[in-house]
Structure 1
Amino acid sequence: MSASRLFVIGGFVLAFGLVALIEWASRREGSRIPSLGDVCAYVMQYEVGRMPVGRLGVFGFWWWVGWHFFAR
């Protein structure tokens, strides 16, 4: 296994670990950190006129993730 592959895998493990740590911290009693669900709910309610821009953004993000990680 090459060093660059190990570096990338380590970066993803670190990123997922940080997300898990922040989510854990957001669910403690009296925490002021919003959970991932709260952030998604806030983004999804954003509209410009009658256009649900937040929902389109979340849909576009999931499309991008699916295209780059699952369409191989």
Structure 2
Amino acid sequence: MSATRILVISGFAAAFVAFGVLEVLARRPGSRIPSFGDVCAYVMQYEVGRVPVGRIGVLGFWWWVGWHFFAR
């Protein structure tokens, strides 16, 4: 296995661990950190006129993730 691959896998693992720690901290009673669900709800309600820009953005993000990581 090459060093670049190990570095990339380690970076993704560190990002997942950081995300998990942040979510645990957000779910403590009295925490001021928003949970992932709260952030998603805030983004999804964003609209410009009658166009649901937040929902389109979230859909585009998941399309990008699927295209780059699962379509092989």
SS of residue in 2 equivalent to 1:29: coil
Q: Which residue of 2 aligns with 1:40?
A: 40
- Please give the TM-score of this superposition, normalised by the length of structure 2: 0.99
SS of residue in 2 equivalent to 1:40: helix
Q: Which residue of 1 aligns with 2:30?
A: 30
CA RMSD of aligned residues (A): 0.3
Q: Which residue of 2 aligns with 1:52?
A: 52
1:12-62 CA-to-partner distances (Å, cap 9, x unmatched) read: 000000000000000001100000000000000000000000000000000
For 1:12, the aligned partner's letter is F
Unpaired runs of 5+ in structure 1? none
Unpaired runs of 5+ in structure 2? none
Distance in 2 separating the partners of 1:29 and 1:37: 16
- Please give the TM-score of this superposition, normalised by the length of structure 1: 0.99
Distance in 2 separating the partners of 1:5 and 1:54: 34
Offset of residue 3 of structure 1 = 0.4
